[in-house]
Structure 1
Amino acid sequence: MTQNTEQNMAPVIEKKRLLSIDALRGFDMFWILGGEKLFAALFMISGWSFFQVAAEQMEHSSWHGFTAYDLIFPLFIFLSGVSLGIGAKPLTSYPADKAQSIVRHGYKRLFLLIFFGVLYNHGWGTGIPMALDEIRYASVLGRIGISWFVAAMLVWYVSVRNQWLVAIVILITYWLLLQFVTLDGLGGGNFSAEGALNVWFDQHLLPGITYRQLPMDPEGLLSNLPSIVNALAGVFTGRFIIKHRTNGGFLISRLCLIAIGLLLLGYAWDLIFPINKSLWTSSFVLVTVGYSMLLLTLFYFLIDVLGSHLWAKCLAVIGMNSIIIYLASSLVNWQYSSQSLFGGLISVLPAGWQQLTLYGGMLLLQWLFLYWLYCRKIFIKV
């Protein structure tokens, strides 16, 4: 590749914010907000096997294994790490009062995400006044908060070399724990939903209730440990982007090679430590980081290198208010709103088109709400 071509591939970007990150976060949230239901409707309309396969990929794996829908959660954690890697510095780089303010904000973010996670789960049991033992404290937002916070503390207080060391030690230690440690007959290489070591931790140390009263919560205590590596991987990726952002060809090729290497390593580890979202196994971490990097590389190339911005801004409208719309997806009945507005049209359409219109309308209403916030520069962040 010639030097001129390399220079043409160098994107003009702001140091602290990349449109590709907001767009990819919006793309990630799109499926949570109801986008996953569109494939089933399209299959009903067309009968094409492609949409059937896509609809199947929009379901979580039953236990071991991996589907596209399993990537949504770890991708969000990865992207939180990317933003951290782009913007954060060791606290020694700041004046003392600024460093204290940053740390206070980190704790605030952690506790707010844990609280919002309980709110999202409707986890207060039978209602107010709350029964503390009926609350589900574990949550998606709680895990995002924990993984981001630990990664932030490492960025603020620990050298880059030791951050890499921590990530490697976490993955290996977690595997050794689940493979060889036994507590009350649980663990010792048992990776089932009833017999994994995670069950012991959730039954003995996790306050409140588990998801659907299962023996192990999918966002339980022990599996928070490897999710930290998803955030750290995002940190390393963000730093790599900033370091090589003026050399687009090198950056994109290296990110792709690293991602493919992680995928190969993750699928190889799957042979002895199965890829499993609920257990958040080390092999699951490597595979999800690999796919996350490939997606980010694709979005970065299309948006920040080639300058394809229109569709990206449509997704960024979602990504820039991701927390508020995630909460709203639990607290607001968007399907009822869509049915109320478009019910007359829906009722006269064939079955497949009814589903497509219902869920398409639901997505449209959520996007319009976010666009209203976007136009007024209202960005609700934690």
Structure 2
Amino acid sequence: MGGIRQHCYAILAQQPKGRFLALDILRGVAIMAMVLVNNPGSWQYVYAPLRHAEWHGWTPTDLIFPAFIVMVGMAMQLSFTAKTTLARSDIIRQGAVRALKLYALGLFLVLFYYNFRDPAYSYLEQKLLTVRWSGVLQRIGIVYFCTLLIVLYTGTRGRIVWALGLCVGYFACMQFMPYSDAQGNRFVGLWEYGNNFAAWLDHQVLGPNHVYFREATPFAFDPEGIFSTLPAISSCLIGVLIAQLLQSSRPLHFKIRILMLAGVVAVWIAELLHPALAINKSLWTPTFVLLSSGYTALLLGATLWLTEIKRYRLWGAPFVVFGVNAILFFMLAGVAARVLAMLPVAGTSLGAWLFSHVFQPLLGNYPGSLAFACVFLLLSYVVMLWCYRRGYLFKV
């Protein structure tokens, strides 16, 4: 136990200067959870809380990505303190470069796959010509740059107006904008799987062969699609506003109370409105913005209370390792997962073989699948700890 405490002390002592501890911890929790749920031993055996909701409604897994988006907004606002001497044009140029890098990294993960087990597999036809244009990193890049422009050209009131306006405008288009399928059937006001205005737009612009849900009818669509990016920007702007609160001269106890109160109210309103305007991650509905931002505020308030008021910090040390290098962790985990899926072993992939010959026989279906994800995460921690101890921070 003493060795673990010393290990945690060493991590916190090495945290790069100028970092916000609570944010690094929460970002580490979010990216760790994202990697955990993305790498089960088998997708057939995943506990319900570790799955996304099938359509309307939510699970804890649905809250991970939007929480990270909120933290992107927080980090943006907090970083402006170090950029006060830069001209606005320079900030925009740097932001555009960062957004393009994030999009390129996301595209790399999409393209980093080859089916070595299928001699008839055509990388050109089955990957390059049907590339999925959207994804987690792609959305982060686009949302980051759009939020940056809003922040640079507006004050607090303007940011609040934009956050509300994007959600209201999104709802209005989804509810009242008519659209038609290939047979000429006209639709309006639907929020169904494969049949809503956002899905229609993805189908028309991105194309049915370049989205995640290609089997959806009448319109193939992407959960990180074009139109749902608008309320995702609102989530990021909420992160900016939270960071502004934390930068204010108010006492920390007051800031924590505001965060907790705002979080409870946001979650309560989202659940109250859910029967009329469903909470839905794939559509990133306004109620989903409220719900996910509310829970993020509650987690942030609790983390601040533990780390700054009670001074309980050691528990957060492992998450800091992930949090300060979140993009690198996501990339390395994504590459490793794809390597496990590509390498052929005994007629199947290495990952599937490890699950069926090691984890499943020892622990059973569901526990074995979760154990596989936990071991994957533990090995990832060893790699990220090595990077952390050597001061290697991957900055996009």
TM-score normalised by L of structure 1: 0.82
1:371 matched to 2:393: no
Contact 1:82 1:237 in 2 (8 A): yes
Alignment of structure 1 residues 9-158 onto 2, 5 Å = 16-34=18-36, 55-88=47-80, 93-96=84-87, 99-122=88-111, 126-127=122-123, 133-158=129-154
In the alignment, residue 25 of structure 1 is paired with which amino acid?
R
Contact 1:227 1:285 in 2 (8 A): yes
The verdict on how the C-alpha distance between 1:310 and 1:28 changes in structure 2, with shifts beyond 3 A counting, is: same
Moved more, 26-35 or 144-153: 26-35
Q: Secondary structure at the match of 1:263?
A: helix
Q: Secondary structure at the match of 1:332?
A: helix
Alignment of structure 1 residues 282-361 onto 2, 5 Å = 282-333=286-337, 349-351=362-364, 355=369, 357-361=371-375
Q: Deviations over 1:139-184 (max 9, x none)?
A: 1111111111111111112222111111111111111111111122
Q: Secondary structure at the match of 1:217?
A: coil
Matching residue of 2:197? 197
Q: Deviations over 1:214-268 (max 9, x none)?
A: 4111111111011001100000001101114x61221111111111111122222
Alignment of structure 1 residues 139-218 onto 2, 5 Å = 139-184=135-180, 185=185, 188-206=188-206, 209-213=210-214, 214=216, 215-218=220-223
- Work out the CA distance in 1 between the residues paired with 2:265 and 2:129: 44
Q: Secondary structure at the match of 2:195?
A: coil
The verdict on how the C-alpha distance between 1:187 and 1:86 changes in structure 2, with shifts beyond 3 A counting, is: farther
- Work out the CA distance in 2 between the residues paired with 1:129 and 1:343: 31
In the alignment, residue 226 of structure 1 is paired with which amino acid?
P
The verdict on how the C-alpha distance between 1:345 and 1:14 changes in structure 2, with shifts beyond 3 A counting, is: closer
The verdict on how the C-alpha distance between 1:60 and 1:87 changes in structure 2, with shifts beyond 3 A counting, is: same
Contact 1:134 1:209 in 2 (8 A): yes
Q: How far does residue 113 in structure 1 lie from its aligned partner after superposition? A: 1.2
List alignment gaps of at least 5 residues for structure 1.
1-12, 45-51
The verdict on how the C-alpha distance between 1:269 and 1:355 changes in structure 2, with shifts beyond 3 A counting, is: closer
- Work out the CA distance in 1 between the residues paired with 2:211 and 2:37: 27
- Work out the CA distance in 2 between the residues paired with 1:142 and 1:356: 28
Q: How far does residue 321 in structure 1 lie from its aligned partner after superposition? A: 1.3
Q: Secondary structure at the match of 2:248?
A: helix
- Work out the CA distance in 1 between the residues paired with 2:153 and 2:17: 22
Contact 1:147 1:228 in 2 (8 A): yes
- Work out the CA distance in 2 between the residues paired with 1:280 and 1:204: 19
Contact 1:335 1:362 in 2 (8 A): no
The verdict on how the C-alpha distance between 1:186 and 1:320 changes in structure 2, with shifts beyond 3 A counting, is: farther
Matching residue of 1:3? none
Moved more, 330-339 or 266-275: 330-339
In the alignment, residue 116 of structure 1 is paired with which amino acid?
L
In the alignment, residue 25 of structure 2 is paired with which amino acid?
A
In the alignment, residue 264 of structure 1 is paired with which amino acid?
W
The verdict on how the C-alpha distance between 1:187 and 1:314 changes in structure 2, with shifts beyond 3 A counting, is: farther
In the alignment, residue 229 of structure 1 is paired with which amino acid?
S
Matching residue of 2:237? 232
Q: How far does residue 338 in structure 1 lie from its aligned partner after superposition? A: 8.9
Q: Secondary structure at the match of 2:380?
A: helix
Contact 1:338 1:365 in 2 (8 A): no
In the alignment, residue 21 of structure 1 is paired with which amino acid?
L
Contact 1:124 1:136 in 2 (8 A): no
TM-score normalised by L of structure 2: 0.80
Q: Deviations over 1:24-58 (max 9, x none)?
A: 111111222226889x9xxx9xxxxxxx9xx3211
Q: Secondary structure at the match of 1:374?
A: helix
Matching residue of 1:49? none
In the alignment, residue 297 of structure 1 is paired with which amino acid?
G
Q: Deviations over 1:324-370 (max 9, x none)?
A: 22122221138688999999986984437755654332221100000
- Report % sequence identity: 27
Contact 2:163 2:237 in 1 (8 A): yes
The verdict on how the C-alpha distance between 1:354 and 1:283 changes in structure 2, with shifts beyond 3 A counting, is: closer
In the alignment, residue 71 of structure 1 is paired with which amino acid?
L
- Work out the CA distance in 2 between the residues paired with 1:76 and 1:109: 17
Contact 2:203 2:221 in 1 (8 A): yes
- Work out the CA distance in 1 between the residues paired with 2:307 and 2:139: 29
1:380 matched to 2:394: yes
Contact 2:37 2:51 in 1 (8 A): no
The verdict on how the C-alpha distance between 1:104 and 1:128 changes in structure 2, with shifts beyond 3 A counting, is: farther
The verdict on how the C-alpha distance between 1:271 and 1:345 changes in structure 2, with shifts beyond 3 A counting, is: closer
Alignment of structure 1 residues 244-259 onto 2, 5 Å = 244=249, 247-259=251-263
In the alignment, residue 379 of structure 1 is paired with which amino acid?
L
